[in-house]
């Protein structure tokens, strides 16, 4: 599915972008795969960078991560946050060690660590952007993760947009009922202080609302036998019956394994 | 626990340690659905607060981040008013599900240590609040929460750089600068997260919600001096100890792997790959399995108490 508008960086855009991420409406390779295979693929890609100190191997694994991010069609918000975090980390640590008498050698040493962390987080972006809540929680259940975890995942993804909406409504309502500050003060600190106070006080009604919502949800769940159904083998089998692996899953997994092994072999030969 | 609300106690009136059933009808034990409610409440509220912080830009002075890392008062409120154990189980999961998975910030095994740190921090801090109306206890608890979490994560961070960078001590200035950064970061975090967005809001919010939010969830407000609801005396200690051990073993696993692969830097690829790979993999799997089994046991126990 194509997405056209991302012209303004606003809270609303961030919210919509989160929703797109949560429900993986962008398509992409991994969203067509079986969730269990995607999790296995993720484990492979996330563990692989930790077993080497060779910069060449890490650079190849980083490139592999970049390819999978492109294949998964990760959105601009998530990608932007990742890039800012990675660059900020490099620049910050370099500046600090420069103060303590380091030189360009420090930057090289840091490149190794950041390539490692970057490769791991790109794999996680590719995998989790492509899984919608239902698939992810089914896959977790299949791997015998605790039921609370699987439940938390599917509940969290569903409730997040509602909660954020509710919070924004309360916050805007409070802001409307407050007079703007008379003088902004140095660097507008009074404005910032008022915003922070409002952001915190908005939690009072939000907590009461959420408590009510949670009670309704849990009572509805327990009426349907949530706690017992999750532990019952028949119920579990019924829920997981829809999971199927197809040819595509195995092709992707095998190609990734081969690519990681090739990265280990070729990376050692690279003059880095 | 019934939905009946007892008359509000006068400020700080202690009723002594009540055990077992209260006046023959109400119980201090939580039922399964009440545990689930506390868990879900803590998860969604902490997740929401993390999303809000994610939208706010992070200011930083040079390499030191002066932003707020999380809103401490949110999990502390749930822990102090309901049950520390179930709030502590829910809060880090909310962080993982809402922010890390959604924002693509999910770091795999590193999330396990994040979960353990946050769990321990919220549980310890929540258990410190014996009286939800005492502002002193609340202030202490919120600072303790940040301290426990940040000291643990600083230790893990330092060891990570040690392991991630092959010859950290040979790179001039790196260890010192990391240590300095972590120390400054800890101080900033205690002030920003622990006091400004921790103690101050919590001191207002927890007494304000006490007695108002519990009836909405079908529970009776906590009375000062009562045993903490939902905290079986032996199990949390045991679990806490086990979790601490697993954090430690996590660090050790990587340390050992570092020693071995640093020692053998020949082009003999299979050898290096074999030893390092197996050791780390086995250790990591063991830690994850232990944690998984523990969590599984806990959810089992929750189911059992419901059955009885």
Residue ranges with strand state E in chain B: 21-22, 26-27, 60-61, 64-65
Q: Which residue of B has its CA nearest to A24?
A: B102
Say if B299 falls within a structural domain.
Answer: no
| Average pLDDT over every residue of A73-90 | 77
Q: Tokens for B195?
A: 């006091």
Mutation target for A interface from B80, B103, B166: give the one with most A CBs within 10 A. B103
Q: Which of residues 233-262 of A touch B (CB under 8 A)?
A: none
A-chain CB neighbours of B174 within 8 Å are: 97, 100, 102, 106, 109-110
pLDDT reported for residue B273: 39
What is the residue range of B222's domain? 31-227
Nearest to B80 by CA among B3, B139, B2: B139
pLDDT reported for residue A106: 66
**Of residues A183 and B5, more confidently modeled:** A183
pLDDT reported for residue B136: 92
Burial class (CB in 10 A: 0-12, 13-18, 19+), B147: middle
Say if B253 falls within a structural domain.
Answer: no
- So what's the ipTM on this one? 0.71
Say if B135 falls within a structural domain.
Answer: yes
B-chain CB neighbours of A110 within 8 Å are: 165, 174
| Average pLDDT over every residue of A135-143 | 83
Q: How many domains does chain B have?
A: 1
Contact B104/A113, CB-based, under 8 Å? no
Q: Which of residues 149-178 of A touch B (CB under 8 A)?
A: 149, 152-153, 155-157, 159-160, 163-164, 167
| Average pLDDT over every residue of A233-256 | 84
Gap between the Cα atoms of A221 and B33, Å rounded: 9
Gap between the Cα atoms of B157 and A244, Å rounded: 40
**Mean of the per-residue pLDDT values for chain A?**
80
Please say whether the beta carbons of A100 and B176 come within 8 A: yes
Say if B49 falls within a structural domain.
Answer: yes
The domain that contains B45 carries what CATH number?
Answer: 1.10.1760.20
| Average pLDDT over every residue of A231-253 | 83
pLDDT reported for residue B143: 92
Say if B127 falls within a structural domain.
Answer: yes
The vertex-B77 CA angle with B28 and B102, nearest 5°, equals 115
A269 part of contact set with chain B, CB < 8 Å: no
Contact A227/B174, CB-based, under 8 Å? no
pLDDT reported for residue A6: 44
Nearest to A35 by CA among A129, A165, A112: A129
Nearest to B118 by CA among B136, B100, B139: B100
pLDDT reported for residue B27: 54
Alpha-helix runs per DSSP H in B190-234:
200-209, 213-216
A-chain CB neighbours of B42 within 8 Å are: none
A-chain CB neighbours of B299 within 8 Å are: 146-148
Give how far A141 is from chain B: nearest CA, Å: 12
Contact A211/B41, CB-based, under 8 Å? yes
A24-69 pLDDT, tens digit each: 666 778 888 888 898 889 888 887 887 777 788 888 888 888 898 8
Question: How far are the Cα atoms of B19, B68, B117, B120, B236 from residue B243, in angstroms, in the given order?
Answer: 28, 26, 9, 8, 10
pLDDT reported for residue B174: 66
pLDDT per residue of chain B (308 residues) written in tens, 0 to 9:
445 555 555 555 545 444 444 444 455 567 778 888 899 999 999 988 888 887 666 665 655 666 777 889 999 999 999 888 889 989 998 888 777 766 655 555 567 777 888 888 898 898 888 888 889 999 999 999 999 888 877 777 776 666 655 555 555 666 677 778 778 888 888 888 888 888 999 999 999 999 889 888 888 788 776 666 655 444 555 555 655 655 554 554 454 444 333 333 333 333 333 344 444 545 555 665 566 566 656 655 655 554 44
Give how far A65 is from chain B: nearest CA, Å: 13
Say if B64 falls within a structural domain.
Answer: yes
Gap between the Cα atoms of B119 and B51, Å rounded: 19
């Amino acid at each position: 599915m194509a997405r056209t508008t991302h012209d303004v960086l606003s809270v609303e855009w961030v919210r919509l972008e989160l929703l797109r991420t949560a429900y993986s409406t962008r398509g992409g390779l991994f969203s067509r795969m079986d969730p269990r295979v995607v999790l296995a693929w993720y484990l492979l890609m996330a563990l692989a960078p930790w077993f080497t100190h060779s910069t060449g191997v890490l650079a190849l694994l980083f490139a592999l991560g970049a390819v999978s991010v492109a294949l998964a069609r990760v959105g601009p918000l998530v990608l932007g946050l990742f890039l800012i975090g990675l660059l900020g980390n490099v620049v910050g640590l370099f500046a600090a060690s420069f103060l303590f008498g380091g030189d360009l050698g420090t930057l090289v040493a840091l490149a190794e660590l950041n390539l490692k962390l970057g490769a791991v987080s790109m794999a996680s972006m590719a995998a989790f952007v492509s899984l919608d809540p239902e698939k992810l929680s089914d896959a977790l259940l299949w791997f015998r993760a605790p039921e609370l975890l699987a439940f938390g995942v599917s509940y969290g993804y569903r409730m997040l947009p509602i909660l954020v909406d509710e919070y924004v409504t309360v916050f805007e309502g409070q802001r409307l009922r407050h007079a703007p500050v008379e003088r902004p003060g140095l660097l507008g600190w009074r404005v910032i202080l008022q915003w922070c106070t409002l952001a915190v006080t908005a939690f009072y009604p939000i907590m009461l609302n959420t408590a009510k919502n949670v009670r309704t949800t849990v009572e509805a769940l327990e009426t349907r036998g949530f706690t017992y159904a999750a532990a019952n083998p028949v119920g579990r089998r019924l829920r997981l019956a829809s999971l199927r692996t197809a040819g595509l899953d195995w092709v992707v997994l095998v190609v990734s394994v081969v690519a990681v092994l090739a990265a280990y072999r070729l990376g050692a030969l690279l003059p880095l | 626990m019934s939905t009946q609300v007892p008359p509000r106690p006068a400020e700080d009136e202690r009723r002594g340690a009540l055990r077992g059933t209260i006046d023959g009808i109400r119980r201090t034990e939580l039922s399964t659905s009440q545990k689930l409610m506390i868990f879900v409440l803590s998860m969604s509220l902490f997740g929401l607060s993390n999303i809000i912080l994610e939208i706010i830009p992070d200011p930083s002075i040079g390499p030191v981040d002066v932003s707020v890392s999380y809103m401490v008062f949110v999990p502390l409120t749930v822990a102090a008013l309901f049950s520390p154990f179930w709030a502590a189980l829910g809060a880090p999961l909310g962080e993982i599900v809402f922010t890390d998975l959604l924002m693509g910030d999910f770091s795999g095994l590193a999330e396990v240590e994040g979960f353990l740190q946050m769990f321990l921090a919220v549980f310890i801090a929540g258990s410190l609040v014996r009286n939800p109306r005492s502002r002193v206890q609340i202030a202490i608890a919120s600072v303790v929460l940040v301290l426990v979490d940040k000291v643990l994560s600083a230790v893990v961070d330092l060891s990570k750089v040690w392991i991630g960078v092959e010859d950290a001590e040979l790179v001039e200035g790196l260890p010192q600068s990391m240590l300095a950064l972590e120390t400054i970061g800890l101080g900033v975090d205690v002030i920003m997260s622990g006091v400004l967005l921790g103690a101050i809001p919590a001191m207002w919010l927890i007494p304000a919600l006490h007695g108002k939010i519990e009836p909405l969830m079908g529970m009776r407000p906590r009375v000062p001096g009562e045993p903490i609801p939902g905290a079986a005396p032996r199990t949390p200690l045991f679990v806490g100890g086990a979790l601490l051990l697993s954090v430690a073993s996590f660090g050790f696993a990587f340390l050992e792997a570092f020693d071995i692969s640093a020692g053998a830097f020949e082009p003999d690829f299979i050898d290096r790959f074999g030893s390092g790979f197996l050791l780390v993999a086995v250790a990591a799997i063991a830690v994850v399995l232990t944690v998984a089994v523990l969590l599984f046991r806990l959810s089992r126990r929750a189911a059992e108490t419901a059955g009885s």
